[in-house]
């Protein structure tokens, strides 16, 4: 039985996440080769009333049927006005359609959230 071919997820995506303690928003850059994914995510995070900080995480992942599983393997603090130790994130989502991935996230500290990746149109 032939599996349905997944459209390429390569491209730029808008990232939004609500994890109870705050919100994260940014951009996800994905490259798909076969079922393997790689890329980076750059986002600003605002935790409660604390100052906003900006993080970049390097990613790897895979597509299993209509599931998209991505995990961060390293991070850099791009901007923070205070000392920060960041816990790597992972995202487990469902490919809703060609331009939307939604699902749950968790970091190495056990903080969970719900996210949406929305693919930007290519020119």
Residues 77-97: tens digit of each pLDDT: 999 988 888 899 999 999 999
Dihedral (CA of 18, 46, 91, 98) sign = positive
| Domain 11-119 grouped into CATH 2.40.128.120 | yes
Q: For the full predicted model, state whether its pTM sits above 0.95.
A: no
Q: Rg of the chain's alpha carbons, rounded to an integer?
A: 15
Work out whether the CA dihedral 60, 102, 118, 42 comes out positive or negative.
Answer: negative
Residue 6 — very low, low, confident or very high, per pLDDT cuts 50/70/90? low
DSSP H or E stretch at residue 29: strand 22-33
Q: Alpha-carbon distance 38 to 13, whole Å?
A: 13
Q: Would you kindly state where each structural domain of the chain is located, as residue ranges?
A: 11-119
Which residue in 51, 47, 71 sits closest to 61, CA to CA?
A: 71
Q: By mean pLDDT, which of 23-32, 39-48, 68-77 is the weakest?
A: 39-48
């Amino acid at each position: 039985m032939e599996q349905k071919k997944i459209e390429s997820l390569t491209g730029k995506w808008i990232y939004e996440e609500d994890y109870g303690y705050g919100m994260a928003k940014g951009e996800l850059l994905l490259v798909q080769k076969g079922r393997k994914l790689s890329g980076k995510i750059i986002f600003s995070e605002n935790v409660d009333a604390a100052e906003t900080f900006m993080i970049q995480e390097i990613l790897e992942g895979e597509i299993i049927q209509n599931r998209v599983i991505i995990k961060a393997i390293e991070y850099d603090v791009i901007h923070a006005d205070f000392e920060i130790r960041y816990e790597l994130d992972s995202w487990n989502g469902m490919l809703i359609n060609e331009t939307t991935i939604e699902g749950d996230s968790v970091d190495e500290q056990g903080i969970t959230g719900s996210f949406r990746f929305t693919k930007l149109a290519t020119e």
